[in-house]
Structures are given as structure tokens and as C-alpha cells.
């Protein structure tokens, strides 16, 4: 494992630096992970050798760019086992993917009194778009309660289901607490009343295996920058028949078949939902990232991340006055905690001086923080390149904070 | 600058045991200060009579820096004329962004160290922006956010 890890870390030049005179210990991976060399290389090569607009030139470079762009779509559709590559719509991130569903599907299908059930732990990205659309359509949003462990209360969900429920939205992996939610079971329950299921998969591609057909989801939103890919790119998976029936979300070039001032006809999938010039280099970078992830030895990576999570959990539990929030049985490598001696924000500053980058705050999950009665947490989240030594430095920094405050 | 200069004893003390940390039922001016980036929230309450701030209290939750800053600020403005509190607001604001020398601020100097930590400056200024909002607003209560700095009077 050590040799493998060293080789892995070499792929991430950004990790090789000091901050405030200390070795950088990057534990803010749930906010964004770093990119390995093959991703940087793929994007650089695109700009050096193939840069041209897609879907519109008759010249060679445009053809090359279009081929690479569409090949990336195939890569992503295979990665999550979609039936068709045109079920993948490129967006600027997970947030835009959810907005697309809320505005296009929700705007066309929600009626007054219809219900959208969202887990109490959702990211603001999977709450606010629904609130905007609920205001317009008269639909009602209801939060699905969580257990104290951070797990979804499935019994409560069962009791909330009725034929008024049109959509259930839940994240696959919780960015704030690490909880991995049982998507298959949630889908089964939702289907029993004919509701659709949207899964916020922002944290998924780097952390769990995703098979959209096996999961049975209707929509799955993804983020590139949390999956070793670039920022500013993400994707929506939607079942073909749903996407076909949905009205366009934004208008512009490329998404049309014919335009006249009297009547415009729209293009087929996926172009119908991709107006304007897309982030071509970003999409190519994302495909390179997924190829890179797919090339890792998945069993040993899983074991490594589990051991980081176990190690961090054990060490944190040993420090008096530290409480871990989120104790689900199934977790991604994320530990969120509060202390009785320092506010998360102060911990963040002290950790930074030790070279340790963590996130302190509400993690864009204010209702979740309220549910647990905390203003925010300190969160350490791990990626493939993190080591046990990183956790030792984290714990030293926490002890130093305790020294200052206690 | 090391951490001990940021987290001086005065700040730790006011962070742990904030002064004037209570509700003020007789408040004539109140303001809610939010830092949406970290979730810090401060509710500032003032009782102003004949141009003098007779009482200043706060509650809410925040980090050591924002709590200490609010605590020290309420101590500093209590008994002051409104104009003097406004001058103090400006001097504090200048000191925390300036590179060179500024007016001496007495005990409040301990907060100026945060300027070495750009991500934390908003923690130190949150209560002060709430003060300005409370005093300037025509309404009895106002809300400010560190991300806009604008005063949004309550309807
Ligand atoms: C669970 C979850 N949903 C949505 C988002 C937003 O994703 P993006 O940054 O790709 O828009 C994030 C990222 O912070 C997230 O963690």
C-alpha cells in the first residue's frame, strides 16, 4: 500500500508544497478534491492540439473537439452504467444539474398540493431550486427526518409517502457527515407511490460505485470537481423517456433544430439541454478523471479510505471534549466534529497554521446543522492520496487548539 | 504573527465569558448580523436615550473572534454618545484594514491582529457592522450580512 500511495501522491503536484511553513495536509476533499496529472494533461493537450468549438465547424479541429467531447459523454455514461450516452447532459456542476430538473421537470409537472420530499440533510443545492419552483407551482416541500446517526428515517419516509408525492430527493453521500444513504431502498419505496427519485450524487463518483440502472434512479446529478475532475463541469443523468418529455431549461444555440420568429423546434437529446458553447476542456478533463479513477485498484483504495476513516474516528473519539456528528454504519471518509472548547471557525484557523486544510461551517447544509443543534462543524474529508501521517498532524493540531482554548 | 497573538488572553477571556451577553427587552435599536459563509449570527440590542447609548447587549452564536469582538464593542460603546460610537466604528474599521498607523484604540487593539488572517476579518467586524446598521436604520430592527454589508431594514 505504501508504494502504491507514494506513486499516487506523485500524481498530485499541488500536494507538494508547504503552507505557513508546514507540509500541506489537504483534508478538504468534500469541498473539492485535487486533480491528478492525467487530468491536467488531458485539458492542456486539448487546448494545445484540438481547441475548436464543438458541433458547428466543418473543419478538422472542430471535428476533433466534437469527437473528444462526445467520447467523454460515453465515458461518463459507462462509468455510471446509463443505458444511453444521450442520457448524460453536461452542466456546469451538480447545482446546475439539479436546477435543470427542478425548473424543467418540476415546472412542467408539479401542481398545487403536489409534494416533493427532501431529506433533512440535503445540500442547499437540492433545497433552494425546489423552493423556487414550489413558489411558482404551488407544490409543497417536506423534509424527511434523520436519525441521530445521520441516517435517513426510512419508517418516517414510508409514512410520508402518498399519491401526492411526485418526487423524492436525497443525496447519495452526505458531504457534511459522510452518511451513505440506501438509495435502492429509497427508490423502491418511492416507486410504490409512483414518485420519481432524484439523487444528488455530487460526492459519489469519487466515493461509491454508481450504477444508475441497478439503483433505479430517475435523475442523478454529478459534480466533476469532487471526482478528481475540473471545476465548472458536472452532469445530469436522466432516464431517456423523462428527458424527452421535459421542456428545455435554457434556450440558445445548439439546442434547436430550426429557429424562426414564428416557431422554433428543438434538438434531440442531449443537445436539447445543452445550449451555448459548453466547457469542452472541462468535459474532457472529467472523462480523464473518471478513466483515472477506473484505473485504480478499487478494492485496495476502498480499504485505504475505510482505514483512514476508522483511524480518524478513533483518534478524535480519544480526545476529551470532541464529539463526532454523523455516526452512520455506512460512511464515506468524512469526519465532522464539534468540540466543547473551540468554535469550528477557530479550529479552522489554528489547523491552517499547522498546514491542515479543513472546512469549518455549515457545509451548505443549514437545516442539517439545525437538526443536530450545532452552528456548524469542523470537517475533515479524505481522498485517495491522504495518509495516516495526515491524520496524526490533524490530531496534533487539534491538541494545540485545545491547549489554546481549554 | 503567531497564533498566540491572534488568540490573546483578552480575546480568549471575552470569547469564553462574553460581557453584556443577554437580551435587552427595552431596546430601542436592534440589528441582526449574519456571516453567511460560516453561519455566525449576532443579535445586537441598544437602548438609546437623548443621543446616548445607555445599554448595549448581544446574543447569538459565533466563533471566539466574533464573540469577543461583540463583547468588547458593547463595553466600549456603553455610555457613549451615538456620534462617538460612530467615530469608533470608523476608526475600528480603518484599523482593521489599514497597513500603516491608525488611531489608538485602547483595549480594542487586541482585535486588530486579525488583519493578518484575511479569512477572519469578517468575524471581527460582524458586530461593528451590526452596530452601524442598528444606529442608521430608520426602523427599530435591521439585518446586515458580511457578504453585502448593506443595511436591509425590516418591513
Ligand atoms: C452534496 C452536494 N450537493 C451539491 C453540491 C454542489 O455541487 P457543485 O459544486 O458541483 O455545483 C455539493 C458541493 O458542495 C455537494 O456536496
Q: What is the DSSP annotation of A339-390?
A: ESSS-HHHHHHHHHHTTEE-EEE-TT-HHHHHHTT-S-EEEEE--TT--HHH
Q: Which residues of A98-134 are buried (b: 16+ CB within 10 A; e: fewer)?
A: bbbbbbbbbbebbeeebbbbbbbbbbebbbbbbeebb
Distance A278 CA to ligand 1 centre (A): 19
Work out the mean pLDDT of chain B and round it to a whole number.
Answer: 88
pTM of the shown model? 0.93
Nearest residue to B63 (alpha-carbon basis) of A387, A183, A341: A341
Choose one of A89, A125, A200 to mutate for the ligand 1 pocket test, by most ligand atoms within 8 angstroms of C-beta. Answer: A125
Sign of the alpha-carbon torsion through A283, A285, A290, A295: positive
B4 touches chain A (CB under 8 A): yes
Give the SS3 label for residue B149.
coil
Question: Which residues are CB-neighbours of A152 under 8 A, at least 6 positions away?
Answer: A119, A121, A144, A146, A170, A179, A181, A182, A186
Q: What is the DSSP letter of B139?
A: S
Residue A216 CB neighbour total at 10 angstroms = 16
Which residue matches cell numbers 500511495?
Answer: A5
Sign of the alpha-carbon torsion through B135, B139, B142, B148: negative
Question: Which residues are CB-neighbours of B137 under 8 A, at least 6 positions away?
Answer: B29, B31, B151, B153
Q: Do B65 and A346 count as a contact with CB atoms less than 8 A apart?
A: yes
Give CA–CA dist B19/B70, Å, rounded: 9
Distance A96 CA to ligand 1 centre (A): 10
Q: Which chain A residue lies closest to B3 (C-alpha atoms)?
A: A350
B3 touches chain A (CB under 8 A): yes
% of chain B with per-residue pLDDT over 70? 92
Q: In sequence order, what E strands does A137-205 have?
A: 140-144, 165-171, 196-200
Distance A136 CA to ligand 1 centre (A): 24
Assign residue B25 the CATH number of its domain.
Answer: 3.90.1010.10
Distance B96 CA to ligand 1 centre (A): 33
Give CA–CA dist A369/A321, Å, rounded: 19
Is pLDDT of B46 > 50? Answer: yes
Selected residues 93-112 of chain B with any CB under 8 Å from a CB in chain A: none
H-helix or E-strand spanning residue A236: strand A234-238
Distance A202 CA to ligand 1 centre (A): 5
Asked if residue B152 belongs to a domain, the reply is no
In which domain, by residue range, is B47 found? Answer: 3-144
Give the Å distances, CA to CA, from A198 to A130, A156, B85: 12, 18, 52
Nearest residue to A282 (alpha-carbon basis) of A201, A363, A227, A212: A227
Q: Which chain A residue lies closest to B67 (C-alpha atoms)?
A: A343
H-helix or E-strand spanning residue B25: none
Class of CATH domain A2-31+297-405: alpha beta
Nearest residue to A323 (alpha-carbon basis) of A179, A152, A177: A177
Asked if residue B154 belongs to a domain, the reply is no
Grid cell in block for residue A275: 445550449
Q: What is the pLDDT of residue A282?
A: 98
Residues of A in contact with B2 (CB under 8 A): 353
Give CA–CA dist A24/A357, Å, rounded: 8
Give the SS3 label for residue B45.
strand
Asked if residue B40 belongs to a domain, the reply is yes
Ligand 1 atom with minimal separation from the A234 CA: 10
Please list the pLDDT of chain A residue by residue as tens digits (406 residues): 678 788 899 999 999 999 999 999 999 999 999 999 999 999 999 999 999 999 877 899 999 999 999 999 999 999 999 999 999 999 999 999 999 999 999 999 999 999 999 999 999 999 999 999 999 999 999 999 999 999 999 999 999 999 999 999 999 999 999 999 999 999 999 999 999 999 999 999 999 999 999 999 999 999 999 999 999 999 999 999 999 999 999 999 888 888 999 999 999 999 999 999 999 999 999 999 999 999 999 999 999 999 999 999 999 999 999 999 999 999 999 999 999 999 999 999 999 999 999 999 999 999 999 999 998 999 999 999 999 999 999 999 999 999 999 8
Asked if residue B35 belongs to a domain, the reply is yes
Question: Which residues are CB-neighbours of B133 under 8 A, at least 6 positions away?
Answer: B31, B33, B142, B143, B144, B151
Average pLDDT over residues B32-40: 83
Give CA–CA dist B16/A401, Å, rounded: 14
Is pLDDT of B45 > 50? Answer: yes
Is pLDDT of B155 > 50? Answer: no
Q: List the domain boundaries for chain A.
A: 2-31+297-405, 41-294
Ligand 1 atom with minimal separation from the A363 CA: 14
The reply to whether omega before A270 is within 30° of 0 (cis) is yes
Which residue has a Cα nearest atom 7 of ligand 1?
A94
Say yes or no: domain A41-294 is CATH 3.40.640.10: yes
Angle, CA A366 vertex, CA A360 and CA A369 arms, to 5°: 70
B9 touches chain A (CB under 8 A): no
Give CA–CA dist A190/A267, Å, rounded: 31
Which residue matches cell numbers 489608538?
Answer: B104
From B12, B16, B61, residue closest to A375, measured CB to CB: B61
Ligand 1 atom with minimal separation from the A222 CA: 10
Asked if residue B151 belongs to a domain, the reply is no
Q: How many domains does chain B have?
A: 1
Query: Is residue A378 a contact partner of residue A337, using CB atoms and an 8 Å limit?
Result: yes
Left if phi > 0, otherwise alpha if psi is -120 to 50, otherwise beta: which for A330?
A: beta
Taking CB atoms and a 6 Å cutoff, what residues make up the pocket around ligand 1?
A 93-95, 123, 125, 171, 175, 200, 202-203, 223, 234, 364
Choose one of A31, A94, A200, A368 to mutate for the ligand 1 pocket test, by most ligand atoms within 8 angstroms of C-beta. Answer: A94
Q: Do B123 and A404 count as a contact with CB atoms less than 8 A apart?
A: no
Q: Do B65 and A375 count as a contact with CB atoms less than 8 A apart?
A: no
Q: Do A369 and B39 count as a contact with CB atoms less than 8 A apart?
A: yes
Give CA–CA dist A385/A292, Å, rounded: 13
B39 touches chain A (CB under 8 A): yes
Is pLDDT of B150 > 80? Answer: no
Grid cell in block for residue A377: 462543524
Residue B108 CB neighbour total at 10 angstroms = 21
Q: Tell me which residues of A are annotated as active site.
A: 364
Parallel, antiparallel or unpaired: strands A196-200 and A140-144: unpaired
Orientation angle between helical segments B82-97 and B121-136, nearest 10 degrees:
150
Amino acid at each position: 500500500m505504501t508504494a502504491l500511495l507514494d506513486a499516487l501522491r506523485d500524481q498530485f503536484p499541488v500536494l507538494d508544497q508547504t503552507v505557513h511553513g508546514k507540509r500541506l495536509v489537504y483534508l478538504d476533499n468534500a469541498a473539492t478534491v485535487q486533480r491528478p496529472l492525467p487530468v491536467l494533461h488531458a485539458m492542456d493537450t486539448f487546448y494545445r492540439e484540438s481547441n475548436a468549438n464543438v458541433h458547428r465547424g466543418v473543419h478538422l479541429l472542430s471535428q476533433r473537439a466534437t469527437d473528444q467531447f462526445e467520447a467523454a459523454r460515453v465515458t461518463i455514461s459507462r462509468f455510471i452504467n446509463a443505458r444511453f450516452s444521450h442520457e448524460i447532459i453536461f452542466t456546469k456542476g451538480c447545482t446546475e444539474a439539479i436546477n435543470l430538473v427542478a425548473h424543467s421537470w418540476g415546472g412542467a409537472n408539479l401542481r398545487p398540493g403536489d409534494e416533493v420530499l427532501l431529506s433533512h440533510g440535503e445540500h442547499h443545492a437540492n433545497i433552494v431550486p425546489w423552493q423556487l419552483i414550489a413558489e411558482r407551482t404551488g407544490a409543497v416541500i417536506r423534509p424527511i427526518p434523520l436519525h441521530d446517526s445521520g441516517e435517513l428515517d426510512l419508517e418516517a419516509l414510508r409514512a410520508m409517502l402518498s399519491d401526492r408525492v411526485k418526487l423524492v430527493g436525497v443525496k447519495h453521500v452526505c458531504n457534511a457527515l459522510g452518511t451513505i444513504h440506501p438509495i435502492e431502498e429509497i427508490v423502491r419505496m418511492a416507486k410504490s407511490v409512483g414518485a420519481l427519485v432524484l439523487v444528488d450524487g455530487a460526492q459519489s463518483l469519487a466515493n461509491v460505485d454508481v450504477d444508475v440502472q441497478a439503483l433505479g434512479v430517475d435523475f442523478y446529478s454529478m459534480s466533476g470537481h469532487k471526482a478528481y475532475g475540473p471545476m465548472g463541469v458536472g452532469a445530469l443523468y436522466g432516464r431517456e423517456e423523462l428527458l424527452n418529455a421535459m421542456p428545455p431549461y435554457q434556450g440558445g444555440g445548439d439546442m434547436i433544430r430550426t429557429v424562426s420568429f414564428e416557431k422554433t423546434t428543438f434538438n434531440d437529446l442531449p443537445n436539447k439541454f445543452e445550449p451555448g458553447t459548453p466547457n469542452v476542456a472541462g468535459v474532457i478533463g472529467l472523462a480523464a478523471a473518471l478513466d483515472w479513477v477506473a484505473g485504480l485498484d478499487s478494492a485496495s483504495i476502498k480499504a485505504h479510505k475505510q482505514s483512514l476513516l476508522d483511524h480518524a474516528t478513533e483518534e478524535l473519539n480519544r480526545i476529551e471534549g470532541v464529539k463526532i456528528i454523523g455516526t452512520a454504519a455506512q460512511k464515506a471518509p468524512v469526519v465532522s466534529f464539534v468540540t466543547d472548547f473551540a468554535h469550528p471557525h477557530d479550529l479552522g484557523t489554528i489547523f491552517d497554521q499547522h498546514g491542515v486544510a479543513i472546512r469549518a461551517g455549515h457545509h451548505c447544509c443549514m437545516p442539517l446543522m439545525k437538526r443536530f443543534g450545532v452552528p456548524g462543524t469542523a470537517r475533515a474529508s479524505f481522498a485517495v492520496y491522504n495518509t495516516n501521517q495526515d491524520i496524526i498532524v490533524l490530531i496534533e493540531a487539534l491538541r494545540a487548539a485545545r491547549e489554546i482554548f481549554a | 504573527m503567531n497564533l498566540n497573538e491572534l488568540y490573546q488572553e483578552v480575546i480568549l477571556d471575552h470569547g469564553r465569558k462574553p460581557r453584556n451577553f443577554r437580551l435587552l427587552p427595552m431596546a430601542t435599536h436592534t440589528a441582526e448580523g449574519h456571516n453567511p459563509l460560516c453561519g455566525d449570527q449576532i443579535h445586537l440590542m441598544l437602548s438609546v436615550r437623548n443621543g446616548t447609548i445607555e445599554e448595549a447587549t448581544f446574543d447569538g452564536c459565533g466563533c471566539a473572534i466574533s464573540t469577543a469582538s461583540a463583547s468588547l464593542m458593547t463595553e466600549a460603546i456603553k455610555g457613549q454618545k451615538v456620534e462617538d460610537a460612530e467615530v469608533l466604528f470608523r476608526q475600528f474599521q480603518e484599523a482593521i484594514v489599514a497597513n500603516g498607523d491608525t488611531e489608538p484604540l485602547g483595549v480594542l487593539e487586541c482585535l486588530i491582529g486579525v488583519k493578518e488572517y484575511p479569512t477572519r476579518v469578517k468575524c471581527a467586524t460582524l458586530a461593528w457592522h451590526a452596530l452601524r446598521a442598528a444606529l442608521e436604520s430608520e426602523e427599530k430592527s435591521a439585518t446586515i450580512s458580511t457578504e453585502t454589508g448593506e443595511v436591509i431594514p425590516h418591513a
